[in-house]
Chain A
Amino acid sequence: MNIESQDLYTQIILSMAALVGLTSFLMLGQGRLLRLIFVFAVQGFLLTLTTALAAYSLDNHHLYISAVLTLALKVIFIPWMLRREVLNSNLHRDVEALGNQTAIMLGGASLMVFSYYVLHPIVQTTSPVMLNALAVSLSVVLLGMLLMISHKQAIAHVVGFMSIENGLFFAAIVATKGMPMVVELGIAFDVLVAAVLFGIFFFHIRTSIDSLDVDLLNKLHEVDK
């Protein structure tokens, strides 16, 4: 696949895919919560741009609505809520000591290769561009999981959770030009409710264990409590 032989829209989509993938890696190695949230907001903004671009080039009006929803939820509301939480619980000075940085980054890179490997069969029936877009989306999903595994703070977990959601959203936009309207509204509603619930949970976790370190949530065992 020669990138210069593609049309402009495809070229931009591919660049966006690369940038979205990059933001996931940036989040993975980030120990400071405020920066993590900032990178997350950037990723949301990239998604908004991609959606708006898809809406413009396909002349599809409901994608504009999705773009606005993404902007409102993923760039403004959720980062604002998380930021406030970090400041309230005085976590902005802490740098989380991440375990083995090198191993995590290498793990992330292998997840990306793995995504390409998993989705490779579809290349027979579709363009290599689609393979790239879908593989990047899947790796954003998997990197989100790795983020949750490697970080201990509940807030980082929420960022991981939401960035998984971002990966899925990117797949939906690029591969299928967005989901049907009713589904997309439903997903946006679920994300909103989930964000509010996370806010409630931060409060509960802090009052119950006096910290947001989820490693301290370890009371439930398989045997012998």
Chain B
Amino acid sequence: MIPAYLLLSIAFVGIVFFAVSGHKAEIGKINVWFNAGSLIASIWLAINVLNNGTILSADKAFLIDSFNVYLIVLTAFIGLTTSIFSNPYMEHEKDLGKLTAKRLKLYYSMYQGFMLAMYLVLTTNNMGVMWVGMEAATLATVLLVSLYRTPESIEAAWKYFILCGVGIAQALFGTILLYYAAMQIGDGENALLWSELFKNASQLNPEVLEIAFVFLLIGYGTKIGLVPLHNWLPDAHSEGPTPMSAVLSGLLLNDALYAVVRNKMLVDGATHSDMAGHLMMGFGLLSFLVGALFLHRQKDIKRLFSYSSIEHMGLMTFAFGIGGSLATFAALLHMMVHSLTKSAIFVTVGHATQVAGTQRMDKIRGLIKTQPKIGWGLLIGTISIAGFPPFGVFTSEFLVLLATMHSYPWLTLPLLLGIGIAFAGLFRHIQPMVYGAKPEGQQAVKANLLPVMIHLALVLWLGLAIPSFLAHWFSQATVLIAGGSPL
């Protein structure tokens, strides 16, 4: 259990440290070290879980099993690589005069605040604390969305704050109903612990849990970016600083989906019906198709990729909704490859917008000629996210399709159609940006593309061969969620 406490305390110390001395020089490097420390702690935790199986802390406040442990490592890893990228990026923004030293201090402090909230959501065993963590993640990032203080960014942040705040309030109502159902069979303080609820799921009142799940799905679904609750997402992604877009897309959406799936496991145990799954499939498919269609009409490069996030989160929600072992395995894999790819893309996009000096896609041209690394990074990232073999996204999307054909054959058609539409939507915008002549006077910028290369290499690796310990976790998590092994 020590590494889990270490993980939480590193992030907590980070908040305080940056709040006190965040104005000093070289502060971005210290942020990298904090995140490196978190990654080491998370790997230590992962090794513990690998050797000893599920860990439940003595006071039952924290639960680490094969489902959340890989998400913890993923969170720490993306936190680290994004901080490596954010260091020169934020310096550059400061040099351009978009930011002051004081706001940079807020940025780094809240970066760690966001990481703390994410670790809390993932490690806690208490469904109430999970809600507190999700809300804290909104609160930590809302000031980062408006970091540039432009009218647009303030509007985006206000929208994000109100929509996510109201949305997540529904999840609290769901949690209260869950607690109410648990109180009917058990005692007070322990009644919200997931491990206890899961053990006694079959005794929970199915009517209450069905109502609770609707509220939980709407609430956390707002944060996943499910259509029609997604309006905040493109605004917040496009107006905030790019490192924030990378962690929002790569981590926050995943963790909200994680919360939904944890709740779905309880509801399924109580109701023995497909009600929760069908709801998730409906919302998932709708988000997938709407996200894919909206890709075509975008003008802003960050909005483009945030719609791509909506599309992929929809696909994952859909896959978890199908529920069988194959679909669940595919969804777990897709969570990982999407996070890695999408954060890599946002890092490249951040550099590309600094090269072009704008986020408007019709003004970004000739990236490969100007700075080959960025151009190729964007192109390969897009190929990967569009689901081309041999990247990991292809593998997971293929598995989702396979599972759909097996359980709901007639839904294969809209899925294939959506994948096709999304592919066209991405490439019609990306192609002129990376190829083509370089505009007059466009200069290369200082860029660190190491994170992008590592992410894309990992996605490639996951597409070719999944390492045995990861496959082991995925299949264990699948057994936990779906009740059967895919392998």
* Residue positions of A touching B, CB distance < 8 A: 118-119, 121-122, 124-126, 134, 137-138, 141, 144-145, 148, 154, 157, 161, 164-165, 167-168, 171-172, 175-177, 179-183, 186-187, 189-190, 193-194, 197-198, 200-201, 204-205, 208-209, 214, 217-220, 222-225
Query: Given A190-B139, A197-B139, is A171 in contact with B151 using a C-beta cutoff of 8 Å?
Result: no
Q: Which of B170, B189, B191, B207 contacts A122 (CB 8 A)?
A: B207
**C-beta contact mask, B224-248 vs A, less than 8 Å → 1, else 0?**
0000000000110011000000000
Beyond A194-B135, A200-B143, 6 additional contacts (C-beta under 8 Å) are A122-B205, A122-B207, A168-B173, A187-B131, A190-B136, A220-B235
Q: Which residues of B contact A208 (CB under 8 A)?
A: 149-151, 154
* Residue positions of B touching A, CB distance < 8 A: 61, 126, 128-129, 131-132, 135-136, 139, 142-143, 146, 149-152, 154-159, 161-162, 165-166, 169-170, 172-173, 176-177, 179-180, 183-184, 188-189, 191-192, 205, 207-208, 210-211, 234-235, 238-239, 294, 297-300
**Which residue of the partner chain B has the closest CB to A219?**
B152
Q: Are A201 and B205 in contact (CB under 8 A)?
A: no
Q: Are A183 and B239 in contact (CB under 8 A)?
A: no
Give Cα A41 to B134, complex, Å.
27
**Which residue of the partner chain A has the closest CB to B146?**
A204
Q: Which residues of A contact B170 (CB under 8 A)?
A: 141
Q: Which of A145, A171, A205 contacts B166 (CB 8 A)?
A: A145
Q: Which of A157, A171, A181, A204 contacts B176 (CB 8 A)?
A: A171
Q: Which residues of B contact A217 (CB under 8 A)?
A: 151, 154-155, 158-159
Q: Which residues of A contact B238 (CB under 8 A)?
A: 220
Q: Which residues of A contact B299 (CB under 8 A)?
A: 223-225
Q: Which of A168, A180, A201, A222 contacts B158 (CB 8 A)?
A: A201
Q: Which residues of B contact A124 (CB under 8 A)?
A: 207
Q: Which residues of B contact A223 (CB under 8 A)?
A: 297-299
Q: Are A180 and B176 in contact (CB under 8 A)?
A: no
**Which of B135, B170, B172: most chain A Cβ within 10 A?**
B172
Q: Are A179 and B179 in contact (CB under 8 A)?
A: yes
Q: Are B208 and A193 in contact (CB under 8 A)?
A: no
Query: Given A183-B126, A219-B152, A222-B294, is A168 in contact with B239 using a C-beta cutoff of 8 Å?
Result: no
Give Cα A197 to B157, complex, Å.
11
**Cβ distance A175 to chain B, nearest Cβ, rounded Å:** 5
Q: Which residues of A contact B211 (CB under 8 A)?
A: 118-119, 121-122
Q: Are B205 and A125 in contact (CB under 8 A)?
A: yes
Give Cα A122 to B207, complex, Å.
6
Q: Are A161 and B158 in contact (CB under 8 A)?
A: no
Q: Which of A145, A186, A205 contacts B154 (CB 8 A)?
A: A205
A-B contact pairs, 16 of them (CB 8 A): A121-B211, A125-B208, A148-B162, A167-B173, A168-B169, A168-B176, A176-B183, A180-B192, A183-B132, A186-B129, A186-B132, A187-B128, A190-B136, A200-B143, A217-B154, A222-B234
Q: Which of B146, B154, B169 contacts A165 (CB 8 A)?
A: B169
**Cβ distance A204 to chain B, nearest Cβ, rounded Å:** 5
**Cβ distance B57 to chain A, nearest Cβ, rounded Å:** 13
Query: Given A176-B180, A224-B299, is A190 in contact with B135 using a C-beta cutoff of 8 Å?
Result: yes
Q: Which residues of A contact B135 (CB under 8 A)?
A: 187, 190, 194
Q: Are A164 and B294 in contact (CB under 8 A)?
A: no
Q: Are B154 and A204 in contact (CB under 8 A)?
A: yes
Q: Which of A164, A186, A189 contacts B169 (CB 8 A)?
A: A164
Give Cα A200 to B110, complex, Å.
15
Q: Are B207 and A183 in contact (CB under 8 A)?
A: no
Q: Which residues of B contact A118 (CB under 8 A)?
A: 211
Q: Which residues of B contact A145 (CB under 8 A)?
A: 166
